[in-house]
Structures are given as structure tokens and as C-alpha cells.
Amino acid sequence: MVLKPQVTARSSLTIIGLTAFLTACGGSSTESIVSTAPSTSKALAEVVSSNGSSSTASGGPAGQDDGQFELTFVDEFNGELDGNVWRTNRTDTESSTTNYATRNGALKIWPQRGSNGEFFNRTLDTDGRFSQKYGYFEIEAKLPKGKGVWPAFWLFNQIGERRPEIDILEAYPGGAAPWGKPDADGIPVPMMYAPVTWTDRGERAGYAKVETPDLSAGFHRYGLKWEPNRQTFYFDGREVFSHEVTVSDPLYLIVDLWFGSASGQPNDRTPTGESNAFEVNYVKAWQFK
């Protein structure tokens, strides 16, 4: 775990308010649909290697010039989850049911029913422990499958009444095509994800839908280069969406597995347990030098 001293503490997260915010619509926005080739993994791996960058523990952001960045945060989930860095929240507060763990150098969050028989949301965030304005943010992850699952990696803060937010990854496997498609067993798998920018509650400034191979079949890198007047999103080191926008508040990190929204509601066929986890190899952040 690496945290540099320039981080900024922020106020506590209110899960109920965030749920309402994330399901809200409205405001002006731009939208684009990005298609990737069938051989996405191979093609994008070549993009990363061609410019000399890597995503190893000692390397810089995928697809970027390492010399432009300084590492400010890294968690590779070796050992127990660091409670000094991550806060954990859930919507089922009366049950001792567990739906997350660190295993073999990865964080896993999986669909699970609580004591009331319902699926419950799990949120991990760095509110009050780490936040940053501008730089590059990246996660390497494999997504779960199934109706209703809604994995995400995003940046957020509460600035008075304002709610700036940058969604680096949101996926809805159970949503209408092309969000997902059934696998051989008829379980929907994620075939698309969305990067989204919100300048405030209900004010969506930019939105893209990125078509992909099955995101539950292997690990991929989801990145954001956040500059003062532009945000550029990357998939496995390849630029997939860029737009002019100004978000100038420090934001903290959130990794979560929720249910609903465009993915629909989970059902009896939604796979539960660790074998269907939102599995995260690392979360990293860099500042510009």
C-alpha cells in the first residue's frame, strides 16, 4: 500500500443518498458508442507494449508515458484489506453475511443474499483516507456475470450541496443488448461498460458506451486521465472516450458491487459466491509530474 502525504480528507459517504444520485437521470450530456475489434485483448495489449508502458507494480499507467506520472496510491490487495485506507459499507446492516475478501493478491466482491434473502450492495471507498485532483486512475479487474449485477469503479465527493463524480467503469450485464448477452448456460455476461462524468447531481457532462469482449472471462485495465479541462478514458491502454469538461474538486476512490439500475433485478439464476466475484488485482493513482 502506498499513500503519499498530499491526500485530502473528505466528509463521510451517505450510501442512501448516493444510490438515489446514481439512479437519477437528466442534465445535458454528450454520448458516444465505441466498438472494439473481436480480438480486443490482443490488439490492446499490443498498443500497451508498443509505447513501452506496463501495468506491473513498478510500471506506470497502461498506454501512457511513465515519465509523466508519479505514483500516489496503490493497493494490490496482498494480505488483509487495509482498514486504514478502505471503508466498507453495505445495505444489509443486520446480517453477518460476508460478500467480500482478499484472496491470493486480489480483492473479491461477490453477489450474496443477506439474512432477509435479498441481495445486498457492498461499497469500499477511501473517503477521509485518500482523495486527489487530476492525474491518472486505473483498476485491473474481472467482472461478475448475472442478472442484476452492477460493478463499478468511480471517483466521488460531496462538496457542500454539490456531488461531482467520474465513473471510470460501470457495467450492466443483465441489461438489454449490447450491455450483455447470455452465455452457454443462459446467464448474461458483460459485453459493454460505460465511462460517465457528472459535474453535479443530475448534471451529466459526458457519457460513452464501450463495446467489449466478455468482461467476466478475464482481467482488463480501466483507466482515466483527468486533466483540468479534459477527461480521457482508456481500456487496456487504448483511448476509448475523451471530452472537454472541468471538474476541479479532489475526489476519493470507490469500488463497489451493487444491484439494479440498467442491469435489472437479480434473480434465482444470478450466480452467488466467490466464483462469480468482481475481482480486482489492483487500484492505482498517479499525479502528473
pLDDT in tens, 240-277: 999 999 999 999 999 999 999 999 999 999 999 999 99
Check: CB of residue 123 under 8 Å from CB of residue 88.
yes
Query: Is 224 inside a domain boundary?
Result: no
Judged against a pLDDT cut of 70, whether residue 106 lies above it is answered with yes
Smallest Cα–Cα separation from 125: which of 162, 81, 160?
A: 81
Quickly count: other Cβ atoms within 10 Å of residue 89's Cβ: 18
**Secondary structure of residue 227 in the 3-state scheme:** strand
Query: Which of the 8 DSSP states describes residue 182?
Result: E
Given this model, what pLDDT does residue 31 score? 60
**Secondary structure of residue 288 in the 3-state scheme:** strand
| CB within 8 Å of 44: residues ≥ 6 apart | 36, 235, 236, 237, 238
Query: Is 252 inside a domain boundary?
Result: yes
How confident is residue 32, by pLDDT bands cut at 50, 70 and 90?
low
Query: Is 177 inside a domain boundary?
Result: yes
Type of residue at 172: Y
Number of domains in the chain: 1
Judged against a pLDDT cut of 60, whether residue 69 lies above it is answered with yes
Query: Is 27 inside a domain boundary?
Result: yes
Check: CB of residue 234 under 8 Å from CB of residue 240.
yes
Check: CB of residue 61 under 8 Å from CB of residue 135.
no
Query: Is 201 inside a domain boundary?
Result: yes
Query: Is 61 inside a domain boundary?
Result: no
Range of the domain at 125: 2-55+67-216+229-288
Judged against a pLDDT cut of 80, whether residue 41 lies above it is answered with no
Query: Is 223 inside a domain boundary?
Result: no
Quickly count: other Cβ atoms within 10 Å of residue 103's Cβ: 11
Q: What is the CATH number of the domain that holds 97?
A: 2.60.120.200
Query: Is 60 inside a domain boundary?
Result: no
How confident is residue 59, by pLDDT bands cut at 50, 70 and 90?
confident
